[in-house]
């Protein structure tokens, strides 16, 4: 193999391998998060737990397909350099967009419960479904034109998928922070530190996913302008779905710790409504004897 070919192999398959490594590492973290969730949470609604199970199944499939992406060029076709994309790569946009949209729609429903805004929830739903449509389109193009060079011809579909997903993350994060800040101003002093922690958690999870999606877009544009065989964007792209599910489970698992903090600050006679779920609003009699923080983190 010539030095030029070796250089192309490094540029083309190196990022694929790194992306799959990151995907596998985050999958291990996801399994731990899921174990904690199912062992410490018994009060969540049945459909919420089913969503988590569906996401776990989808993520397991995604990880298996990711290993198939690197198996084909590095093991099955070892020594036979080609500019064609691995067949399994076509599955990545559709599986990733499905997983991310599921998490985003769930977050949109929580926001709908808290704000009673059909317009805001509808906009989140639109962006999530747009990312799915663009993800499916990207997968179709990858199947019909399996070439790293040909990606430039349908870059618009890849960008639409990632940018709509990133925009949806930003809308969700900003909406949740606004809700939290509003209720922080209405809360008792002893509960404000807890809300500050929730705000930080909300911003962190939103930034992680949106930055990863934007990084993939920017890397794609820059690398394709510099070298048509480069696949640096796949480092973030292949592990993107795991960031969504880990962020969701991290937020759900944090409820137990936050509830303990609230109990320690307010005493056992007070219950805080840090509620992302049922849509139930406490009545006046309950408000008079309970601290209303705005979200019930005990049940979803």
Q: What would the pLDDT profile of 197-256 be if each residue is shown by its tens digit?
A: 666 666 666 778 878 877 777 877 776 666 555 677 788 889 899 999 998 998 888 777
Q: What is the pLDDT of residue 93?
A: 94
SS3 of residue 276 by DSSP: coil
Domains of the chain plus CATH, in order, are 3-287 (1.20.1070)
Q: What is the pLDDT of residue 153?
A: 83
CA distance 163 to 240: 13
In contact, 191 and 291? CB cutoff 8 Å: yes
> For the whole model, what pTM was predicted?
0.80
DSSP 27-64: HHHHHHHHHHHHHH---S-HHHHHHHHHHHHHHHHHHH
Residue 166 or 203, more confident: 166
Q: Lowest mean pLDDT of 13-22, 106-115, 154-163, 195-204, name the range.
A: 195-204
CA distance 76 to 289: 67
Residue 297 or 65, more confident: 65
In contact, 208 and 243? CB cutoff 8 Å: yes
CA distance 234 to 226: 16
CA distance 177 to 169: 12
Find where tokens 């710790």 sit. 257
Find where tokens 């429903």 sit. 109
Supply φ then ψ for residue 147, to 5 degrees: -145, 135
CA distance 235 to 251: 25
Rounded to 10 deg, the angle between the 91-115 and 155-186 helix axes is 20
Average model confidence (pLDDT) across the chain: 78
Alpha helix (H) residue ranges in the chain: 3-40, 46-71, 91-115, 118-144, 155-186, 189-226, 234-237, 240-266, 284-287
Residue 295: Cβ-neighbour burial (10 angstroms; 0-12, 13-18, 19+):
buried
Q: What is the pLDDT of residue 276?
A: 42
In contact, 261 and 46? CB cutoff 8 Å: no
Dihedral sign for Cα 172, 173, 176, 179, please.
negative
CA distance 249 to 32: 10
Rounded to a whole number of angstroms, the distance between the first and last alpha carbons of the chain is 57
Give the percent of the chain with pLDDT over 90.
34
């Amino acid at each position: 193999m010539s030095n030029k070919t070796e250089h192309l192999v490094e540029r083309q398959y190196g990022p694929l391998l790194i992306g799959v490594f990151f995907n596998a590492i985050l999958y291990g973290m996801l399994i731990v998060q899921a174990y904690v969730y199912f062992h410490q949470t018994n009060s969540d609604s049945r459909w919420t737990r089913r969503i988590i199970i569906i996401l776990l199944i989808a993520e397991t499939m995604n990880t298996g397909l990711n290993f198939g992406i690197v198996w084909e060029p590095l093991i099955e076709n070892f020594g036979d350099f080609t500019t064609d994309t691995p067949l399994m790569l076509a599955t990545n946009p559709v599986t990733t967009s499905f997983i991310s949209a599921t998490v985003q729609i769930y977050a949109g429903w929580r926001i709908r419960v808290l704000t009673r805004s059909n317009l805001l929830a509808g906009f989140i739903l639109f962006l999530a479904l747009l990312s799915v449509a663009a993800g499916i389109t990207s997968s179709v193009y990858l199947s019909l034109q399996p070439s790293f060079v040909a990606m430039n011809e349908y870059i618009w579909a890849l960008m639409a998928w990632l940018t709509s997903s990133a925009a949806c993350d930003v809308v969700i994060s900003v909406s949740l922070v606004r809700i939290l800040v509003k209720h922080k101003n209405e809360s008792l002093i002893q509960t404000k530190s807890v809300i500050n922690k929730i705000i930080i958690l909300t911003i962190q999870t939103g930034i992680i996913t949106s930055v990863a999606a934007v990084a993939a877009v920017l890397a794609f544009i820059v690398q394709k302008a510099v070298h048509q065989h480069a696949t640096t964007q796949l480092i973030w792209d292949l592990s993107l779905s795991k960031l969504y599910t880990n962020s969701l489970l991290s937020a759900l698992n944090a409820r137990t710790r936050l509830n303990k903090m609230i109990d320690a600050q307010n005493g056992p006679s007070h219950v805080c409504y840090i509620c992302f779920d049922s849509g139930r609003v406490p009545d006046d009699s309950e408000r008079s004897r309970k601290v209303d923080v705005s979200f019930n983190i005990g049940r979803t």
